[in-house]
Amino acid sequence: MNLVELTQYTSNEELAEEYLRDQGILKKFHDCPYCQGTRINRVRRAKYKCYSCNREWGVRRGSILEGLRVPFTKFLMAIKLFEIDTSVREAAKQLGLAYNTVYNLHSLIRTAIFAVNGSTTSFSGKIEMDESYFGGRRKGKRGRGAAGKVPVFGILERGGKVTVEVVSDVHSETLLELAIKKVKRGSLIYTDKFRSYNGLVSYGFKHRRIDHGKKFANGKVYINGIEGFWSFANERLLKYHGVDAEKFPLYLKELEYRYNHRDRDLFDDLIQLLIGYNQVAYNE
Ligand SMILES: [Zn+2]
């Protein structure tokens, strides 16, 4: 949904609420959550009322919006601003919301990405694998095992998607286990000469190694794809100087998600994602 289409739903609260209910983010109530009576009605101030037990409840009940004190119109606009990668500070300014409110909203979206989109599997064909290190003051790859940095393992299908995961170490067992879990046997895997990739062949993969020094003289044997992702990730993470180690996996999965949806309508995808997360979080 582009900005012009979005304005149809954000011109007033009722329309935004209706949109969120139609999408399945706000719950459709057919009976009373207290007494299961069916004589219910929508009453003032975003509430429902049951005429059997006389109780009332909010329209946000049982949805991810329950704990958010954000008007529905601003909720939708915030998703749009997240799509176009606006910072929390700037989004708060544009929406007239507190910094913490927008921060919580962004965290909700990232948590949804992590929960729903968390483990992409079934990679096949031509695959690139590589590890990189994030964190610390200096950007980019600084050798394996660099102190204070978080090792990340990446798998990229050429012309397709990527999956990245924070790993405890880059030992052979760790990396091979993930390769086995995510990549179809028989796929052709390109890596560099790091010894942890020894053994791919014995697990049923085809394996080609590249020498970083000879990358461009080597015909099709390259891992430019995954290295392209590392620079994309590094560039973007620089914007969040000081992502703490605890939150880092969330930011990493966001980058994976953005990369994998780069040709899609991200707003619509985010709505789908929130619908999925809503079902996971409020499985009633
Ligand atoms: Zn009732």
Model confidence pLDDT, tens digit, residues 174-186: 999 999 999 999 9
Looking at residue 128, the DSSP 8-state letter turns out to be E
Note the pLDDT tens digit of each residue in 103-130: 999 999 999 998 887 666 689 999 999 9
Distance 15 CA to ligand 1 centre (A): 27
Round to whole Å and give the CA distance between 213 and 210: 9
Distance 267 CA to ligand 1 centre (A): 37
Return the CA Rg of the chain.
23
Distance 274 CA to ligand 1 centre (A): 29
Distance 277 CA to ligand 1 centre (A): 28
Three-class HEC string of 5-34: HHHHHCCCHHHHHHHHHHHCCCCCCCCCCC
What mean pLDDT, rounded, does the chain reach? 87
Note the pLDDT tens digit of each residue in 183-199: 999 999 999 889 999 99
What pLDDT sits at residue 217?
45
Distance 52 CA to ligand 1 centre (A): 5
In one letter, which amino acid is 65? L
Note the pLDDT tens digit of each residue in 239-282: 666 667 778 888 899 999 998 888 888 999 999 999 989 888 88
Note the pLDDT tens digit of each residue in 156-166: 999 889 999 99
User: Helix H segments across 61-200?
Assistant: 72-83, 88-95, 99-116, 172-182
- Percent residues over pLDDT 90 in the chain: 63
Distance 47 CA to ligand 1 centre (A): 13
Distance 56 CA to ligand 1 centre (A): 8
In this structure, are residues 187 and 126 in contact, taking their beta carbons and an 8 Å threshold? yes
Note the pLDDT tens digit of each residue in 39-81: 999 998 889 999 999 999 999 999 999 988 899 999 999 999 9
Distance 272 CA to ligand 1 centre (A): 31
Distance 102 CA to ligand 1 centre (A): 34
Distance 55 CA to ligand 1 centre (A): 6
214 pLDDT higher than 70: no
What pLDDT sits at residue 157?
93
What pLDDT sits at residue 134?
83
139 pLDDT higher than 50: no
Predicted confidence band of residue 148 (pLDDT cuts 50, 70, 90): low
Over residues 205-223, mean pLDDT: 68
What pLDDT sits at residue 65?
93
Over residues 186-215, mean pLDDT: 87
What pLDDT sits at residue 213?
57
141 pLDDT higher than 50: no
Tell me the whole-structure pTM to 2 decimals.
0.84
What pLDDT sits at residue 241?
61
Round to whole Å and give the CA distance between 39 and 103: 39
206 pLDDT higher than 50: yes
The region of weakest confidence among 95-109, 172-186, 207-221 is 207-221
Distance 14 CA to ligand 1 centre (A): 24
Distance 35 CA to ligand 1 centre (A): 4
Distance 34 CA to ligand 1 centre (A): 5
Distance 43 CA to ligand 1 centre (A): 14
Distance 61 CA to ligand 1 centre (A): 14
Distance 37 CA to ligand 1 centre (A): 5
